[in-house]
A = this chain, B = another copy of it.
Amino acid sequence: MPEPDAPRRLDDPALLPFAPLIHSAWSDGLLTASELRALRAHADAQTWLPQTARAMLDRWLDPDAPPSPRELAELRDRIRSVPIADEPEATASLADLGLALSRAEGGPTEGWSDPGAVASLHALEAALGLVGREAVRRLLDIEHDTGGGPARAPWFDAAALRAYLDADHLELRDRVLGLMGRPPLRIPSQIPLDEYRERVLDAVRLLADHGYGSLGYPAEWGGGGDPTAPIAVFETLAYGDLSVVVKFGVQFGLFGGSVLQLGTEHHHRTYLERIARLELPGCYAMTETGHGSNVRDLETTATYDPETDELVIHTPRERAGKDWIGNAARHGRIATVFARLVVADTDHGVHAVLVPLRDEAGKTLPGVRIEDRGPKEGLNGVDNGRIWFDRVRTPRTNLLDRFGSIDARGRYSSPIPSPSRRFFTMLGTLVMGRISIAAASVSAAKTGLTIAVRRTSHRRQFGPEGGGEVPLLDYPLVQRALLPRLATTLGLHFAVRALARLHATRTPADNAEVEVLAAGLKAYASRHCVETLQACREACGGEGYDARNRFAELKADTDVFTTFEGANLVLLQMVAKGLLSRFRHQMGDLALWTMVRYLAERAGTTLAELNPVVTRRTDEEHLCDPAFHHAAFTYREERLLRSAARRLKSRIDDGMDSHRAVSECQDHLVQLARAHVERVVLDHFRDGILHAPTPGLSEALGVQASLYALSRMEASRAWYLECGYIEPSKARAIRRQVNLLCAESRTCARLLVDAFGIPDEVLGAPIAT
């Protein structure tokens, strides 16, 4: 079609309301054939438009002859003539602006008095995926006039936010932080392995001397009796040297925790105080070389010998050696050893036995062989080792016998009849460890973000011709790399704290849910931590590579968080199975398959039809509405739950064995687990906002919750698009809204990281202080 000679005009007054839409559609990105079709279809539907007007409009919407820059500029100038100072409502959307333009030029024509016509214009705007206010701002150049910054910059007091975030055990946290800025807790980096290990031991000893090792133990054994306090200490320590944190966790959490949780009064009385004072450094010896994740199949044996009333601990083959055991290579004097308990030729499954490793002088005891694991990627202040036992004898009473005991006559009994359930009960010790790793992951992410946000706020590179250089954090992709992760870190903060509280106050009925949450948050937070630190390092460029700026050790130390205390992939499948079995506290396949069938059969009936208005709404009010976020996250989790159930069911119905069925659906199960964690984090984030002490803090946190929610939806937008929960225009609107929220968060990013409350001397990084 040849380009007509006459310039395009828009001088039929009935067309003026279309002007801002036409301009924005051509200016903002590629106008697709489908968008053009939407515009024309809408115009066609306005049957009251005079034929001449319709023809005029067609020329503006001809894909083969887009308007020239001059024509668009003239149209823009005309739109900018609207006296928006007198008509603030005109800036709410492009449709409103168009109607204001027609008012400014003599009032809309009669056809527009029909509310249907106006509503249809708004619908068209939404269908085109133009976020109203942003498009208006751009068209009117409002953003430019205000110097580039977004209009709204929520103000709040960083100290007040810090006091709120750390309200739980604030004073305890501050005391720990006070110790951390100086030796022995401040440990120089890049020191030789042996010296590093000794310094870390000194640091843990200082913490023990201050009583921090026993805060969670019962008061009757000299402890503080508060199960949330150790996590508060642990996550505070995690701003500093992570070897100290892990050694602290091994001694007081895993080892001490196993004596507390799996032992009985005799063990508590004999050991807990000495453990808390670090007089008896110990190990938690579960993992074997051949069995890292699949610990139900451990091979080490503890065989009862009625002749001597002893247990004989034995490693049946080289690959059954205990592996990666913290405290083993150097300092451990005793270990909680997980071994198959054999009494009178009957294997009662895995139990825990206290087995001395070294004498007081540190010499390895007869029958015990220990090998140093040597240098690792990180956490080199922790002395991991391997341990083999050659028929090592230990008294019967060293069996930690809360869940399974041998009486003086050599008879085995247990309060839990099912060996499988008994074993999973004993694994409960790991729950506290997983919560702690989740907490430490959040702390390490906070450290990285504090360094990177401060650095990129003052480091400048490039800039406009003739102008000054621009801070890195002003660049959209630097914001994109850091700020959604900052928001997610805040969400995880609330979720992990809530889980710690639930764990402390749990009833037996809560156990399964706590286990699922601990597994899920550990996996999610540790992955988040690894990705966040990488993004932070890169945002800091070469300086991020300087060992003094912390990322070298932070990255190397936290990398294993994705692996230890349960490999993330295994934990996420555990989460999915927990969801599928609706937290029935029984890990057998039977309960799982029963629930899978139930869920699968409900699948066809209960997921509501999608509301086309909601799948298309793209206005800011809707996009930042917590109810929308909640609905979207819940929908995703529910739908994934049911479709996973159906996939599993079809395989089981076909006679496939359960291992293979689960394996084939692995991707689905892991996706379900992540969706669950993201929904839980959102709920706790909102809960944290609800309880914020001032409206300013609520508002600031609200922006972050929106950024978290929308950036997570953006990351999953392919899924949402595939199932029709959102339409393409909405996906684009979400992306733009994330950009806007990033720009908004940029103005308070420094306040937010200040609110993490990491003192400069703990932060350490020269580029951040």
Contact = CB atoms under 8 A, between A and B. Distances in A.
A108 to B, nearest CB: 27
B537 A559 contact: yes
A605 interface: yes
A665 B654 CA distance: 52
Interface stretch (A8-16, A46-54, A198-206, A291-299): A291-299
A120 interface: no
A585 interface: no
Given A551-B377, A604-B31, A649-B69, A476 B666 contact: yes
A545 B30 contact: no
Contact of A601 (B66, B374, B470, B562): B66
Contacts of A31: 603-604, 646
B604 A63 contact: yes
Residue of A28, A141, A659 with most partner-chain B CB within 10 A: A659
A718 to B, nearest CB: 4
A439 to B, nearest CB: 21
Interface in A646-664: 646-647, 649-650, 653-654, 656-660, 663-664
Interface stretch (A346-354, A720-728, A752-760): A720-728
Residue of A30, A148, A664, A721 with most partner-chain B CB within 10 A: A30
A534 interface: yes
A269 B287 CA distance: 64
B663 A470 contact: yes
Residue of A291, A323, A722 with most partner-chain B CB within 10 A: A722
A375 interface: yes
Contact of A292 (B28, B461, B476): B461
A323 B480 contact: no
Contact of A28 (B73, B475, B647): B647
B666 A462 contact: no
A294 B467 CA distance: 14
A189 B375 contact: yes
Nearest to A480: B667
A75 to B, nearest CB: 11
A605 B30 contact: no
Interface in A532-556: 534, 537-538, 541-542, 544-548, 551-552, 555-556
Given A650-B28, A718-B721, A148 B660 contact: yes
A292 B534 contact: no
A462 B293 contact: yes
Given A461-B293, A560-B542, A731 B724 contact: no
A584 interface: no
A465 B659 contact: yes
A66 B603 CA distance: 9
Interface string A451-491: 00000000001111101011000111110100000000000
A577 interface: no
A464 B461 CA distance: 57
A556 B556 contact: yes
Nearest to A550: B377
Contacts of A446: none
Given A64-B605, A465-B659, A477-B569, A546 B76 contact: no
Contacts of A643: 29-30
B294 A469 contact: yes
A615 to B, nearest CB: 12
Given A653-B69, A663-B470, A477 B670 contact: yes
Contacts of A474: 663
Contacts of A717: 718, 722
A552 B548 contact: no
23 contacts: A30-B607, A30-B643, A31-B604, A63-B605, A69-B597, A148-B660, A192-B192, A292-B461, A294-B469, A376-B546, A464-B658, A464-B659, A464-B660, A465-B659, A474-B663, A475-B666, A478-B569, A541-B567, A717-B722, A718-B731, A721-B728, A721-B731, A724-B728
- Going nearest first, the 7 A-B pairs with the smallest beta carbon separation are A377-B552, A27-B650, A30-B643, A718-B718, A375-B547, A464-B659, A722-B728
